[in-house]
């Protein structure tokens, strides 16, 4: 009998679904549209059908397979209630009781569980990835936004209402840059991929940098990949973007460390592909901003989850965490 | 049989010791000098003698009394190891294995446990005070410094090394005011009692405020009590000190809330005597800086522990937390 878990990653446009084995490998996967008409019941029907089809196909490969449950990563996912609540990027209005609806469709499954995507990534890292055996660590996902998932004593921190772990919205510079959430000066406005672009534009303005390799790109065109490529060619603006982003990440990581004293901080997402360009200044800045007690103890590590499959794999890990109880 | 716990609060000059009943009342208490010659063995002898005397005196009052254990609050106290490590304010050098040494002196006691004073205050609030029944809350102690203790799922967060909960040293303003720890821009440099004094001096400088009630006091003389008294008389500088301190506390509380999503944040210490002068702007600022998901959920509450006895009472609560295991 080979155990597998279903991982579901709900995004604004697509929902990715995969069957994941106990080592974190995706055996089969599929995509459905995340309905944009806001009809929850029809969406649950679509999702149920897609999951049933995947289970069928995986049982054709190996009839001994046992499905342990479904784990879901979704924006504004409330772990305690099993609901998606007022998610700005999804068409579903108000509070969607997704776990309850799926339990009706899959009464045979022991565990159906939901949280936000960054929390799912943290659990994925703990079950399948680089955080195996760690009891205290924090995951930061750097992308369009900055998400985070916090693990204390081997358990994810959900807080009083199921929504803990929004470190991307801690304040780095009071009254600083406008954040996507409407707040000001948040870490996300500086350390996300769009934050790096904003930094590049600030620096080009500061230095009147017509000679920068980034100077021929519009605000819409420029992305963190282009900044990385320019840095590789020695572009001064691009290199300073990485220095500053690393410095700011390090300040935030030190703040998080002063709260939680983790063994490690894991980074996931596009900008981490830049490797030492981002890890080195982040580590230096974190160490600089730590109390003596915490210095030279905390690792900053790249996530061991495969970039493409990570959201599915992370979500599927929720199932194993749930079955531990 | 009436259960009591011994609470020990180790400060740079004095060590306060008390016998605390199950409701958090101090039955008897005593003070000894914290040795300044750095001799740990002699200090443990002094401490043992004082504890034995207190137990004797309390058993004279009620022979039915059962001593459950000893809880210790100490700077740089490491809960996991039961040690005091490189405490700048104490004369003891290096790592002091205080719990181990006391276990030799009191082999009959079930629980001997140690942590830092802010963590002890958090546990005190949970066992005897306003956090009874709460599973997720954070305690901030405002005094010469800013300490903090974090409770998640009913347990104190010690982190990977026993030192978690140093929120006073998170960065409020990158490259801002010098902090006592040598860092820059830390919350403690703004929101502690000395931080308020520094703010008052900045404001007097800004406004050339010869007419302020605080203008006749030297930097050494001015304290947070004088600022409170001036605010009560309508002094503009003093009132703005509270507005700013509250604003900065609120930013920090929002940062902590975005990590942990607590039910409540408790405040303890001298500056909290100013009541609404500090609680009101802190609450407003926290709400302003919170993501929508977290707004109007988190209380900011004054500690219910009695100011004078709180360090002893908090430390004694460690014993009951230890016996829960």
Each residue's pLDDT tens digit, A118-161:
999 999 999 999 999 999 999 999 999 999 999 999 999 999 99
B173 with B286, same domain: the answer is yes
* Any B CB within 8 A of A106 CB: no
Question: How much of chain B exceeds pLDDT 70, in percent?
Answer: 100
Q: Which residues contact B252 (CB under 8 A, 6 or more apart)?
A: B167, B170, B172, B187, B191
Is residue B149 within 8 Å of residue B118, measured between CB atoms? yes
pLDDT for B14 equals: 93
Q: To the nearest whole number, what is the mean pLDDT of chain B?
A: 95
Give the pLDDT of residue B308: 83
Q: Is B133 on the interface with A (CB under 8 A)?
A: no
Residues in chain B closer than 8 A to A256 (CB atoms): 259
Does the beta-carbon distance from A292 to B86 stay under 8 Å?
Answer: yes
Residues B196 and B265 both lie in one domain: yes
Report helix, strand or coil for A151.
Answer: strand
Residue B72 has pLDDT above 80, yes or no: yes
- Tell me what the mean pLDDT of segment B231-247 comes to: 98
Do residues B99 and B147 share a domain? Answer: no
Whether residues B52 and B150 fall in one domain = no
Expressed as residue numbers, the domain containing A252 is 137-302
Residue B123 makes CB contacts below 8 A (sequence gap 6+) with B115, B149, B151, B156, B314, B317, B318, B321
Query: Nearest CB to A254: which of B171, B256, B293?
Result: B171
Which among A160, A165, A258 has CB closest to B262?
A160
Q: Look at residue A188 and tell me whether its pLDDT is greater than 90.
A: yes
Q: Is the pLDDT of residue B44 over 80?
A: yes
A141 sits in which H/E element: strand A137-142
pLDDT band, residue B246 (cuts 50/70/90): very high
B127 contact partners, CB below 8 Å, separation of at least 6: B24, B317, B320, B321
- Write the DSSP symbol of residue A234: T
Q: pTM score, two decimals?
A: 0.94
The pLDDT of residue B265 is above 90: yes
Note the pLDDT of residue B168: 96
Contacts of A170 in chain B (CB under 8 A): 254-255, 258-259
Pair A146, A288 in one domain: yes
* B148 lies in the same domain as B295: yes
For residue B99, the SS3 value is helix
Which two structure tokens, joined as six digits, stand for B173?
A: 């303003």
pLDDT value at A1 more than 80: no
Q: Which residues of chain B are within 8 Å of residue A164 when distances are taken between CB atoms?
A: 259-261
**Of the candidates B300, B202, B294, B210, which has an alpha carbon nearest to the alpha carbon of residue B250?**
B300
CB contact under 8 A, A254 and B166: no
Provide mean pLDDT across the span B265-289. Answer: 96
Query: What is the pLDDT averaged over residues A225-247?
Result: 98
Q: Stretch B198-223: mean pLDDT, rounded?
A: 97
Question: What is the number of domains present in chain B?
Answer: 2
pLDDT category, B208, cuts 50, 70, 90?
Answer: very high
Q: How far apart are CA A107 and CA A93, in angstroms?
A: 26
> Does B136 lie at the interface with A, CB-CB under 8 angstroms?
yes
- Between CA A142 and CA A38 the distance in angstroms is 28
Q: Residues in chain A, how many?
A: 325
User: Residue B181 corresponds to which tokens in the numbers above?
Assistant: 């720890």
CB contact under 8 Å between B164 and A260, yes or no, is yes
CATH code of the domain in which B207 resides: 3.30.420.40
Interface of B with A in 263-302 (CB under 8 A): 263, 289, 291-294, 297
Q: Report the residue from A155, A160, A258 with minimal CB separation from B169.
A: A258
Kindly state whether A172 is in contact with chain B, defined as any CB-CB distance less than 8 angstroms. yes
In degrees rounded to 5, what are phi and psi of residue B25? -90, 140
Q: Are residues A79 and A208 in the same domain?
A: no
In chain A, residues with a C-beta closer than 8 Å to the C-beta of B292 are 86, 181
Does the structure show a pLDDT above 90 at A197?
yes
Confidence (pLDDT) at A325: 78
- Using CA coordinates, name the residue in chain A closest to B140: A259
Q: Say how many CB pairs under 8 Å bridge A and B.
A: 130
Note whether B226 and B112 are same-domain residues: no
Query: How is A157-215 classified by DSSP, letter by letter?
Result: --TTTS----GGGSBSSTT-SBPTTS-BSBTHHHHSHHHHHHHHHHHHHHHT-TTSTTT
Structural tokens at position B143:
């005094």
What are the tokens at A44? 């649950």
The tens digit of pLDDT for each residue in A274-296 reads 999 999 999 999 999 999 999 99
Question: Quick one: A163 and A125 in the same domain?
Answer: no
Residue A275 class from Cβ within 10 Å (0-12 exposed, 13-18 middle, 19+ buried)?
A: exposed
Place of tokens 């309905």: A35
Contact across the interface for A169 and B251, Cβ inside 8 Å: no
Q: Is B87's pLDDT higher than 90?
A: no
Together in a domain, B108 and B168: no
- pLDDT category at A307 given cuts 50, 70, 90 is confident
CB contact (8 A) between residue B159 and residue A260: yes
Same domain, B180 and B273: yes
A154 at B interface, C-beta within 8 A: no
Say yes or no for a CB contact (<8 Å) between A159 and B262.
yes
| A159/B136 CB distance under 8 A | yes
- Residue B89: pLDDT band (50, 70, 90) is confident
Host H or E run for residue A2: strand A2-10
Nearest Cα of chain A lies from the Cα of B144 at a distance, in angstroms, of 17
CA distance A67 to chain B (A): 30
Taking contacts as CB-CB distances below 8 angstroms, the residues of chain A near B133 are none
Among the partner-chain residues A163, A259, A261, the one whose CB lies closest to the CB of B293 is: A163
Q: Are residues B14 and B109 in the same domain?
A: yes
Q: Nearest chain A Cα to B135, which residue?
A: A160
CB of A157 less than 8 A from some CB of B: yes
């Amino acid at each position: 009998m080979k155990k597998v878990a279903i991982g579901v990653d709900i995004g604004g446009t697509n929902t990715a679904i995969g069957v994941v084995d106990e080592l974190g490998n995706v055996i089969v996967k599929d995509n459905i549209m995340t309905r944009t008409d806001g009809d929850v019941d029809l969406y649950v029907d679509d999702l149920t059908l897609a999951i049933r089809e995947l289970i069928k196909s995986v049982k054709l490969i190996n009839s001994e397979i046992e499905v342990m449950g479904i784990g879901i990563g979704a924006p504004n996912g409330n772990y305690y209630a099993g609901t998606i609540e007022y998610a700005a990027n999804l068409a579903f209005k108000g509070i969607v009781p997704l776990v309850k609806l799926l339990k009706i469709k899959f009464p045979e499954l022991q565990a159906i569980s939901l949280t936000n995507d960054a929390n799912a990534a943290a659990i994925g890292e703990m079950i399948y990835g680089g955080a195996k055996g760690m009891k205290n660590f924090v995951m930061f996902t750097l992308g369009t936004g900055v998400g985070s998932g916090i693990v204390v004593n081997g358990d994810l921190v959900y807080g009083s209402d199921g929504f803990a772990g929004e470190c991307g919205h801690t304040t780095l510079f009071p009254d600083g840059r406008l954040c996507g959430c409407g707040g000001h000066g948040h870490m996300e406005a500086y350390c996300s991929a769009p934050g790096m672009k904003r930094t590049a534009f600030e620096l080009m303005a500061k230095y009147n940098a017509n000679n920068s390799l980034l100077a021929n790109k519009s605000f819409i065109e420029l992305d963190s990949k282009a900044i990385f490529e320019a840095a590789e060619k020695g572009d001064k603006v691009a290199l300073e973007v990485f220095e500053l982003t690393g410095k700011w990440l390090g300040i935030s990581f030190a703040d998080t460390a002063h709260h939680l004293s983790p063994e490690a901080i894991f980074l996931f997402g596009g900008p981490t592909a830049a490797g030492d360009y981002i890890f080195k200044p982040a580590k230096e800045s974190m160490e600089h901003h730590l109390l003596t007690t915490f210095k030279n103890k905390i690792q900053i590590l790249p996530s061991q989850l495969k970039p493409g499959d990570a959201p599915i794999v992370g979500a599927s890990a929720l199932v194993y965490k749930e079955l531990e109880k």
